[in-house]
Amino acid sequence: MSDLFAAIKESEPYKALLSAFASSRAPHAILAQSPALFHEALAVEIARLYLCANGSGDDDCASCLSWKGGEHPDFIRPLQWDRPPGIDDCRAMAGELYLAPVIAPRRFAVIPNAGKLSLPAANSLLKILEEPPSWGALLLLSEEMSLLPTIKSRTWHLKFDFEEELSPLPLPKTRDEWLSTIARASKMSFQEAAATLERWIKYCLEEDDLERAEKLGKVELLFEKGRLPVYMAFDLLFGFLEEDLPDELFGHFR
């Protein structure tokens, strides 16, 4: 299990959810507050818990065995993680949530950037929050808690800080450390890699190493735009930071 997913499972909010499942008090709607960088990973881990037949999130039940990466027949993912759904998207999601589960005991839907929902989109969620299907569960993700009071009052609030996962991180110092990091990168999720890049940038800024911070920022931008896979982003960084590749090469990845 990766460090990020371990951090989620070891967090107090996640433990509170586990306790709720153990006592058959799992809420049908959750409002989870965290940095946007972790929203997708957080949604997948909470979905694993809700869709598990035994409420553990990680066992050999038929539902847990149905996960393929971050996909599951009863996991209703958003079309985009970086923007809130519109009213038509919310209605379509509600329709999917009312369908009978395929293999899990529940259906689980995610609303990203819930704090930025338009008023019509937010209002469209009220009915499903008030009268959800017995097998339906809903997760609202937000960086802040600035939602309609009518929505907040119908959800269970969880706050994930991830302070350590966003703290400054020293760059690898030797060639062997870089090669080891690049090898690990092939197994990192997008969120883990993005968090690592962000922590490296913070470290360089703290050390007043603006040149390295700028190069890291350029690679981070290419990575976030989907121009580079994880392992290539780290390999490219090694070349720019340790082997003095010319900055002009950045242009080939735009």
pLDDT tens-digit map of 82-126: 889 999 999 999 999 999 999 999 999 999 999 899 999 998 888
Beta strands in the chain (DSSP E): 29-33, 75-76, 107-111, 136-142, 156-159
Kindly state the DSSP code that residue 132 receives in the 8-state scheme. Answer: -
Q: What is the pLDDT of residues 162-181, one digit of tens each?
A: 877 778 889 998 889 988 88
Determine phi and psi for 214, rounding to 5 degrees: -65, -45
Residues 50-67: what's their mean pLDDT? 91
Q: Does the pLDDT at position 212 exceed 90? A: no
